[in-house]
Amino acid sequence: MAMIALKCPDIQVVVVDIAMPRINAWNSDTLPIFEPGLDEVVKACRGKNLFFSTDVERHVAEAEIVFVSVNTPTKTSGLGAGKAADLTYWESAARMIADVSKSDKIVVEKSTVPVKTAEAIEKILNHNCNGVNFQILSNPEFLAEGTAIEDLMKPDRVLIGGRETPEGQKAIEALKDVYAHWVPTDCIITMNLWSAELSKLAANAILAQRISSVNAMSALCEATGADVTEVAYAVGKDSRIGSCFLNASVGFGGSCFQKDILNLVYICECNGLTEVANYWKQVVQINDYQKSRFVKRVVSSMFNTVSGKKVAILGFAFKKDTGDTREAAAIDVCHGLIGDKAQLSIYDPQVTEAQILRDLAMDKFDWDHPQHLQKPLNPVDTTKLVSVVVDAYEATKGAHGVCILTEWDEFKKLDYKRIYEGMQKPAFIFDGRNVIDVAELRKIGFIVYSVGKPLDPWVKDLPAAPPS
Ligand code: UDX
């Protein structure tokens, strides 16, 4: 919305939310999320044509176009638990729009939703509001966190789906006009509603599939002595495949990939497409396998036990340049190591101690729920086994092992000699993001494990099957 305000000075944008602290933060000097470049955009427009308010009903009533961006977490109970999208927030937003509307509106689905959600929303809107005409559009967002501003400035494409009626087409044109302020019109694709809704799930599933494919290869590389970086480079040089999104890692995270694939799986199952559902499920299963494989590597390399040993965790966010930890691989890896009674010392440049402790006290299903729904901290595990520190040197001091779980640039530039000197010997380093120079670190004296790279003899010679 900030980008629309920046690029369309003729349009008044009001962002509304029922959460007062969040809106207050958007109106303050410290924005509630860290995103490179966002501060500048918000500060350039705020108070001119960009406003943040908790007066939801008034602003929705006044608007011509309403973008709905409420969250759609995975359902945690009832029918489809663990897979289907929970549309509670969407439904209550639609009911509120119906209640307050006195004039015709275009309602835009911005949140990622299951295919055919627009149909349900249309029914809620049209059965609850007399005399007002609603057009529903699907306009999925493809920005990635950490590069949101760049992605919004120059999107690969903007997708707009709508009804194939004259009114539907008119609504599509109205939204197209907004984006046409800065996006070349040949990058604005229009289609039917269901195609637009499905395209978003399909794009995320196929992106995640690339990572699971390369991660599956990384296991085979470790077993054979091949190097996954070389393999991915060679494979990506094929212009039909391309080089992006082929970095092996400890596993993908983020608020979208797993949620959207599980959602896709559920839609396939509901349509009786068991084979298709199983195919996509495997992408998530390989991701879980990759995380547990990493934990096993750590434990088996460190003489089959990490109990009571200090292990430094460098990086907790699901990727660099964000403070977001939703579905971060670090959460699962830390849980695995805590299960083996490791003493964790965690450092991330953007994630607060409170967030880390909250994430580690969560049950798996709770993670993508709003904070007020989350369980209180589990004081036993968190205070006994986890400490959160302010830099990488403190985290690694006296540690037996170091795990790099987010690819923050600063981890490439650390003084590893100093880190080595401060650690217990033998000093292990497990690079879950392939950011360090393996040869250089081995020269210093580290025993190094890097995902999908030829194994250090120390790592290799240890028993392959760790304790379960
Ligand atoms: C993703 C999609 O890219 C975006 O289009 C969609 O709108 C939302 O979901 P995001 O979750 O912000 O965006 O991050 P993304 O850059 O896609 O990374 C997702 C995860 O995959 C991260 O944990 C990242 O570290 C991991 N990843 C990415 C890899 O492990 N290897 C890669 O090659 C690329």
Give the pLDDT band of residue 14 (cuts 50, 70, 90): very high
Render pLDDT for 353-399 as a digit per residue (tens, 0 to 9): 999 999 998 876 654 544 444 444 555 566 789 999 999 999 999 99
Residue 457: exposure state from Cβ atoms within 10 A (0-12, 13-18, ≥19): exposed
249 close to ligand 1 (CB < 6 Angstrom): yes
d(CA 136, CA 65): 10
257 CA: nearest ligand 1 atom: 9
Residue 462 has pLDDT above 80, yes or no: no
Distance from the alpha carbon of residue 201 to the mean position of ligand 1, in angstroms? 14
Render pLDDT for 269-320 as a digit per residue (tens, 0 to 9): 999 999 999 999 999 999 999 999 999 999 999 999 999 999 999 999 999 9
253 close to ligand 1 (CB < 6 Angstrom): yes
SS (H, E, C) the chain: CHHHHHHCCCCCEEEECCCHHHHHHHCCCCCCCCCCCHHHHHHHHECCCEEEECCHHHHHHHCCEEEECCCCCECCCCCCCCCCECCHHHHHHHHHHHHHCCCCEEEEECCCCCCCHHHHHHHHHHHHCCCCCEEEEECCCCCCCCCHHHHHHCCCCEEEEECCCHHHHHHHHHHHHHHCCCCCHHHEEEEEHHHHHHHHHHHHHHHHHHHHHHHHHHHHHHHHCCCHHHHHHHHHCCCCCCCCCCCCCCCCCCCCHHHHHHHHHHHHHHCCCHHHHHHHHHHHHHHHHHHHHHHHHHHHHCCCCCCCCEEEEECCCCCCCCCCCCCCHHHHHHHHHHHCCCEEEEECCCCCHHHHHHHHCCCHHHCCCCHHHCCCCCHHHHHHHEEECCCHHHHHCCCCEEEECCCCHHHCCCCHHHHHHHCCCCCEEEECCCCCCHHHHHHHCCEEEECCCCCCHHHHCCCCCCCC
Render pLDDT for 159-206 as a digit per residue (tens, 0 to 9): 999 999 999 999 999 999 999 999 999 999 999 999 999 999 999 999
356: left (phi over 0), alpha (psi -120 to 50) or beta: alpha
**Residue 402: which residues within 8 A CB-CB, separation 6 or more?**
311, 312, 314, 395, 396, 419, 423, 427, 428, 429, 430
What pTM does this model have? 0.93
d(CA 362, CA 373): 11
Residue 466 has pLDDT above 60, yes or no: no
Distance from the alpha carbon of residue 123 to the mean position of ligand 1, in angstroms? 34
Sign, CA dihedral 86-88-89-93, equals positive
Question: Binding site membership for NAD(+): which residues?
Answer: 17, 22, 70-74, 111-112, 145, 256-259, 326
Crossing angle of the two packed helices 353-360 and 329-339, in degrees rounded to 10: 60
Ligand 1, pocket-test mutation among 252, 324, 333, most atoms within 8 A of CB = 252
**Token couple for 324:** 């977001």
336 close to ligand 1 (CB < 6 Angstrom): no
Task: Please name every residue paired with 108 in a beta bridge, in sequence order, or none if there are none.
Answer: 67, 137
What's the confidence (pLDDT) of residue 372? 41
101 close to ligand 1 (CB < 6 Angstrom): no
Residue 2 has pLDDT above 80, yes or no: yes
d(CA 246, CA 298): 23
What's the confidence (pLDDT) of residue 379? 53
Percent with pLDDT over 70 in the chain: 94
Residue nearest to atom 15 of ligand 1 (CA): 144
Task: Please name every residue paired with 402 in a beta bridge, in sequence order, or none if there are none.
Answer: 312, 429
**Token couple for 247:** 């970095």
Distance from the alpha carbon of residue 440 to the mean position of ligand 1, in angstroms? 28
Ligand 1, pocket-test mutation among 35, 156, 207, 332, most atoms within 8 A of CB = 207
Sign, CA dihedral 11-44-20-328, equals positive
Residue nearest to atom 3 of ligand 1 (CA): 144
Distance from the alpha carbon of residue 383 to the mean position of ligand 1, in angstroms? 31
d(CA 217, CA 232): 9
Residue labelled with tokens 């304790």: 467
Domains of the chain: 2-183 (3.40.50.720), 226-460 (3.40.50.720)
From 130-134, 264-268, 447-451, the region with the lowest mean pLDDT: 130-134
Ligand 1, pocket-test mutation among 143, 151, 218, 257, most atoms within 8 A of CB = 257
d(CA 365, CA 343): 25
Specify whether 221 is catalytic.
Answer: no
Residue nearest to atom 34 of ligand 1 (CA): 245
Render pLDDT for 423-435 as a digit per residue (tens, 0 to 9): 999 999 999 999 9
Of 129, 221, 256, 334, catalytic: 256
From 115-119, 243-247, 330-334, 459-463, the region with the lowest mean pLDDT: 459-463
Q: What is the mean pLDDT of the chain?
A: 93
Distance from the alpha carbon of residue 299 to the mean position of ligand 1, in angstroms? 27
What's the confidence (pLDDT) of residue 456? 85
